[in-house]
Amino acid sequence: MTLRGQTDGLAARLRCSLVLDSLGSNQIALQPDLDASWSLTLRGRTDWLTAQLRYFSVLDSLGSALTESLETYVLGCWKGALLPACEDPSLIEESACLQMRLKECGCEEPELALLKAMLTGSHLLTPQHVWSLAQGLNPVQPERAQNLIQEAVDKLGNYIGSASNGHVILVLDKHLQKLPWENIPCLRSHSVTRLPSLRFLLSYSLTKKYQEEAILNRGVNSTKTFYVLNPHGNLPGTEKIEPGWAGVVGQTPDPDQVPVALEERDLYIYAGHGAGARFVDSILKVDCRSVALLFGCSSAALAVQGNLEGTGAVLKFLMAGW
């Protein structure tokens, strides 16, 4: 990497670091005191709610800046590598042609898969991105490589962007899982799933292939739904539910209700504080056949301890079934 490239990389890391630091410090400094709010007068509670709205507005702004920084300064010219694979004949043909022409201009033969990933995001590449790619592929004659790459990018244009409409599966480590990758601009129009490892993906693929009666094949029968809504009784806005479904609203479910529902129902919905895992003594002992939708403030949170990967309720539900 050239000195200019090292400088740009350092600047990018500093920008992302500043956004992350700002996000963390504002979370501490701006978040209103929830416990103190209950002792306030009506006027005081109104002011507290106003402060809450201001706090979330700041978080929204910082979150937006963070996602844009991740795409611009971390992924940069390789953002196309996160997009779903595209098997369009024009992309395959253009990638093979570019591979041959780059080799003729002095590049070491680049991997075809690498060029396909690069050109899958052709609709996202700016001239600066193309220049960065050219420097990496042909540091001796980057100008010539730049012209070849730009020609391929211009040919494919926005057509490939609309053709790449598959699903994205992210397998993230304990550090990357903390970041909102699903909301970076280039992924907002795609469906995205997180899985703890490739073994889960393989397991689901085998289930779909060999178990015809699995929910992955036949889909969810919504009439076989069980829900736990607002078990603490202080979130009335979560209590709206589809008529005809079974469940518990505004109170704690009986000890056996949730485990039985997970084993017998097609869909389990939780909406309330935390993650709802406390209503299942040991989720890993349950043969979970239900698809679980967890709408709690910490449903997807993973706690990292030491050198181990993160753990949390959502992973326990995945390991128990779905």
What's the maximum distance between 2 C-alpha atoms anywhere in the chain?
77
Residue 172's pLDDT band (boundaries 50, 70, 90)? very high
Tell which residue, 202, 199, 192, 201, has the closest CA to residue 170.
192
User: Which of 5-9, 102-106, 205-209 is predicted least confidently?
Assistant: 5-9
Residue 266 has pLDDT above 90, yes or no: yes
Distances, alpha carbon 148 to alpha carbons 84, 92, 198, 253, 322, in Å: 24, 16, 36, 64, 46
pLDDT range class, residue 2, cuts 50, 70, 90: very low
Task: Write out pLDDT tens, residues 80-130.
Answer: 889 888 888 888 999 999 999 998 888 887 899 999 989 988 889 999 999
Alpha-carbon gap, residue 293 to 271, rounded angstroms = 8
- Taking residues 126-138, report their average pLDDT: 92
Residue with tokens 């500093």: 14
Query: Quick one: how far is CA 123 from the chain centroid?
Result: 21
224: Cβ–Cβ under 8 A, 6 or more apart, which residues? 264, 265, 266, 267
What stretch of H or E contains 169? strand 168-170
For residue range 17-73, what is the model confidence (pLDDT) as tens digits? 545 554 454 444 444 444 444 445 656 667 767 777 787 788 788 888 889 999 988
Mean pLDDT for 215-238 is 90
| pLDDT top residue among 93 and 160 | 93
288 is catalytic: no
Collapsed DSSP state (helix, strand, coil) of residue 135: helix
**Hunting for tokens 């479910």 — which residue is that?**
253
| Mean pLDDT confidence for 137-144 | 89
Mean pLDDT, the chain, whole residue set: 82
Distance, CA of 163 to CA of 119 (rounded, Å): 12
